[in-house]
Amino acid sequence: MKIEAPLMAGDYTETGAAARKLEDLGFDTAISFEGPHDPFLGLVLAARETERIELATGVAIAFARNPMICAQIANDLQRIAKGRFILGLGTQIKPHIEKRFSQPWSKPAARMAEFVRAIRAIWACWEDGERLDFRGEFYTHTLMTPVFIPKKNPHGLPPIFLAGVGPRMVEVAGEVADGFIAHPLNSRAFALESLLPTLERGFAKGDRKREDFQISVQTITVVGDSDEQIAKGRQAAKAQISFYGSTPAYKVALDFHGWGDLQPVLNRMSKEGKWLEMVNEISDELIDTMCVCGKPSEIGPLVKTRNDFADRTTLTLYNMAGEDALHDVVASFKG
């Protein structure tokens, strides 16, 4: 199992140094995300200052861009990173796409499937000399003059991972992508009984095989050297879960465990600005179901048991044990 970590830097210009630190700690992948900063630019810095660690977007918002832009950026990053780049894409939710990015929203699963197919058609034009003639419901790419064709990438094309929560988007990932990124609001039971069977339906539709596909599970992980530290971390994790739980698109994971009624409560409270009060709605049982909590040396065995169906785990860390504990966390996976 590959161990992945969010790529965080207090100063965005220090992203390269942050990636080098993760590499030195022994993490397999550094994950950037679409937040206050662009998810791609920081990976240029990271690629320049690392040698081994994979670099991935987890995720870049597809619908804020278009297939040609993503095809070009991903191809360039794959070249800069010398074959270590993974293009992770997600949809975001309708209000952000329409009101933050000022882009159209419709049929997100069908649009995402077409988005990926369009990227692959563009890459086939560049790499194999195929004529660009992609005509879909949402995207049309039919013009590619020689001056705009990059040289063949010596490192090959990067894999495309898709994030999803709802069954239709998960199925699309299995159908058209190289990997799937499970949202942090997940549990082992939800993955085994809901996500994996849905991915299998996607594999069947795309005539694909599980062994040619990778599953990455984002896992909320609380680390502490004492019961007091772990309790503090659990409280912080409750805030994250309450935020996720307030989003209607993520209700499916709560529904699975019979906590679906909590979602509209959290949604209403978020609209009222009651962010601190929302934390009190998250029970210890929910935390125990959705999170991994333990001492640094315990994390590896706990996560590997929880996510033994996956190829990768992204640790969404609430580390109350201090920075030095990360060495023991990573070592607990390698031992």
pLDDT tens-place values along the chain, 335 residues long = 999 999 999 899 999 999 999 999 999 999 999 999 999 999 999 999 999 999 999 999 999 999 999 999 999 999 999 999 999 999 999 999 999 999 999 999 999 999 999 999 999 999 999 999 999 999 999 999 999 999 999 999 999 999 999 999 999 999 999 999 999 999 999 999 999 999 999 999 999 999 999 999 999 999 999 999 999 999 999 999 999 999 998 999 999 999 999 999 999 999 999 999 999 999 999 999 999 999 999 999 999 999 999 999 999 999 999 999 999 999 999 87
- Check residue 15 and give its pLDDT: 97
- Please choose, from the candidates 86, 93, 113, the residue with its C-alpha nearest in 3D space to the C-alpha of residue 181: 86
- Please choose, from the candidates 317, 187, 308, 318, the residue with its C-alpha nearest in 3D space to the C-alpha of residue 254: 187
Cα torsion 94, 195, 184, 67: sign: negative
Tell me the C-alpha to C-alpha distance, in Å, between residue 75 and each of 40, 126, 254, 308. Answer: 12, 10, 37, 32
CATH 3.30.420.40 fits 2-227+291-334, yes or no: no
- Check residue 334 and give its pLDDT: 86
Position 199, amino acid: L
Residue 3 has phi, psi (to 5 degrees) of -110, 125
Termini Cα distance of the chain: 12
- Report which DSSP code applies to 85: E
- Check residue 41 and give its pLDDT: 97
- Check residue 229 and give its pLDDT: 98
- Check residue 153 and give its pLDDT: 97
Say how far apart CA 169 and CA 110 lie, in whole Å.
8
Query: How many CB atoms within 10 Å of residue 205?
Result: 14
Yes or no: say if 55 and 84 are a contact pair by the CB < 8 Å rule: yes
